[in-house]
Amino acid sequence: MKAAQLVLSLLIMLYSVSSVADEGTEHFLEPEADAVYVQFVEIEQQLKTASYEAVAGLLTPLQQYPLYPYLQYQAYLRFPARLTQAEVNQFLDAYPLFPSRTYLQQAWLTQLAKDGRWQEWITAYQRLPNKSAAYQCDLAQAYLHTDQQEQGLALTASLWLVGKSQPKACDALFEQWAQLGNPTASMAQKRYWLAAQAGEMRLARYLHRYLDEDGNRLASAYEALLKQPERVATADVSIFPAMAQQQVIKKAFQSLARQSVEPAAQQWLAYRSHLPAASSLVHTLDVYIGKRLAYAQTDTAAELLSRLDPDHQYSELTEARLRQALGADVIDWAVVLTLITTLPADLQASDRWQYWYVNAMQNQTPVSPVVDDEIGDESVAEIKTVEGQTSESQPLDDIWNQLAQSRSFYGFLAAAHQQLPYHLNNQPFNVNADVLTELQKNPAIQRAKEWLKLDRPTEAQREWLSARARLAPDERQHMAALSFEWGWYHRSIMDAIRQQQWNYLDARFPPLFTDLFDRQASKNEIDVTWATAIARQESAFKPEAMSPVGARGLMQLMPSTAKLTAKKYGISLAGTEPLFNPETNIALGSAYLAEMYQRFDGNRTYASAAYNAGPNRVERWLKERGHLPLDAWIETIPYAETRQYVQNVLAFRVIYAQRAGQEVAMLSPSERLLLAYQQQSEPSEPDTVN
């Protein structure tokens, strides 16, 4: 009973903490101090060691509880040998939205395969087919074990004849297939070129053992070209199968462009004249090389970029040329204006290019500089509230005023220019009580609710997403309202974004962890709404968030950064697990953000970029382009992710401040003086960071 007592203690602690949660904390649902929650967790623990005979008695008391299927599922996984097909079918029929239903099916199939019950395996597989390669290999095994040789061999051949490695679960099948004289040299050659086309050269090299002499000679020539990309321009690639020709050309010119983009572009311009102009390869390499040229601020690079796309066929390259023009030592506003007018109509009408259009127009026409007193400090690329295309005859003030109505980074810049208030354009969601009531009757939604009461948001999210898959459109529109009502704020943010409810700001920008942000912002002498905006952009306030590269928690700290920050500022940190604790994460994230703020002389734009891309990169960008107007510097950040990140953070800060009733400027007075519309036609003095 010690385990049960421990569970009970933990739950009591959870209830106590949740009951005093303030409004600024993501608290999910308030757990009710009901014995059923204690009983559920207790049975969960007991099922890990309970005998088969004891299971039924453990489960019976909770048969009406929404999370009962999890206990039943756990029992089935513990004793798959005791299962029957009827029990599996009954479970699958009873819980069609259960997120782990496929794992039960897989456990049952694994047991049948282990027992050699292959005909039953086929029957079970057909109940809930699984198209993964591992289970397709098992299906082929089942055919071979049940005198369905023709189907089994055909399926095995199709599984082997792909351009990627198959899972280890297929090894036994392929070994059995090989004993029958497979694969033939022609099959191996076909697979080799499939692998080459997919860039899976490790597999391709492995397949040499199955190739005949001619096949090996051709494959070796192909691999030699991959190692010497400079030879491709003069090589006869027509000796290779068509599927591999494009791959070797693409890989070669991409490699050359990474080494030195301008010579690669010259070679590509000469080479592409021999290719069909409409081919996907031409498009791919034009855009790849063109985007790299855009960040090489030389006259030659600009000329090569214009030759890549002289007729402005690729909007990606036109935007790249615009950023190249905005990144020049002295911006040629006539070029900027001309390039904008060649963009497709929808891009011309976007906030981004409307902003640069009016700047280009203004910088060609002498006007008195506008010194705005107040600006807001963030923007949201997730929202667009102004549509329409600008006419060249439209007065500049009209364009500025129209743009200033938009809730976006550029809209906020325009509002500052015109000394207008920021427009948040908040539209509270009109809840239909009947739809919301029906939504909460959904079994998966009910299970999600119970998981939240147990403070297990990962399991809750699986149920939530499973429910979404089968909801009607009007029900999906209510998901953000329901998750917001529950206090599941990370989910409400994601639900509103998923449903493109851009103006539903209550769900998209909830004030969370306010006490922690207030305390740490004050301690580190940074703006609290800025730190909040960083967390909103980094994780959408998900404490347990972890990125593919290992960044953790609300403010997405890398373990190495967190360790150094903790040591520097005397913050206790034992391992990486505390990074999922909001208090620890916000303390470390705020300290690191303050460090970036000091390092970049109180410039939030540069500090935000450094928080995302690293301070060394930002210092390099400043040395290369620090003389640019600040908005042009942001627009020409080489990493698209960091460019959008900075714009979002600055915009989010405005939104949070405005919603809190605070007056805020998106940029400081000194930063505003660095904007393009303040610069006129005169080049600014270089501003470098040493």
Nearest one of 399, 317, 406, 409 to 354, comparing CA atoms: 399
| Residue count of the chain | 690
| Model pLDDT, residue 369 | 40
pLDDT of residue 368: 43
Return the residue matching tokens 């860039």: 199
Q: Which residues pair with 546 in a beta bridge?
A: 552
SS (H, E, C) 325-343: HHCCCCCCHHHHHHHHHCC
Q: Residue 677: what residue type?
A: Y
- Pair of tokens at residue 325: 């023009």
The helix (run of H) or strand (run of E) holding residue 608 is: helix 604-613
Active-site residue, from 450, 459, 538, 595:
538
Task: Measure the CA–CA gap between 303 and 592, rounded to whole angstroms.
Answer: 42
Any catalytic annotation for residue 175?
no
Residue 663 confidence (pLDDT): 86
Residue 432 contacts residue 473 (beta carbons within 8 Å): no
What is the C-alpha to C-alpha distance for residues 308 and 285, in angstroms, rounded to an integer? Answer: 10
Q: Which CATH fold would you assign to the domain 433-508? A: 1.10.1240
Q: Which residues contact 387 (CB under 8 A, 6 or more apart)?
A: 349
Answer yes or no: pTM beyond 0.85.
Answer: yes
Residues of the chain with pLDDT under 70: 1-33, 365-393, 679-690
CA-to-CA dists, residue 296 to 254, 261, 320, 635, angstroms? 16, 8, 11, 15
Helix ranges, 273-332 (H) = 280-293, 299-308, 315-326
| Preceding peptide of 183 cis, ω within 30° | yes
Q: How confident is the model at residue 382, as a pLDDT?
A: 42
pLDDT score, position 34: 76
Residue 9 has what pLDDT?
A: 40
Instruction: Please tell me the predicted confidence (pLDDT) of residue 204.
Output: 97
Dihedral pair phi/psi, residue 557, rounded to 5°: -95, 135
All residues at 6 or more sequence positions from 591 whose CB lies less than 8 Å from its CB, including other chains = 520, 524, 565, 568, 569, 571
How far from 499 is each of 467, 492, 619, CA to CA, in Å?
15, 11, 38
Cβ atoms of residues 684 and 674 within 8 Å: yes
CB contact at 8 A, 75 and 47: yes
Distance, in Å, from the CA atom of 71 to the CA atom of 62, rounded to the nearest integer, reads 9
Chain centroid, CA 595 distance in Å: 27
DSSP label of 546: B
- The confidence score (pLDDT) of residue 130 equals 87
Distance CA 361, CA 37 (A): 65
Give the tens place of pLDDT for each residue, 561-589.
999 999 999 999 999 999 999 999 999 99
**Dihedral angle, C-alpha 255, 256, 260, 264, nearest 10 °:** -140
Handedness of CA 555, 560, 562, 568 (dihedral sign): negative
Q: What is the pLDDT of residues 225-261, one digit of tens each?
A: 999 999 999 999 999 998 899 999 999 999 999 999 9
Domains of the chain by residue range: 185-227, 433-508
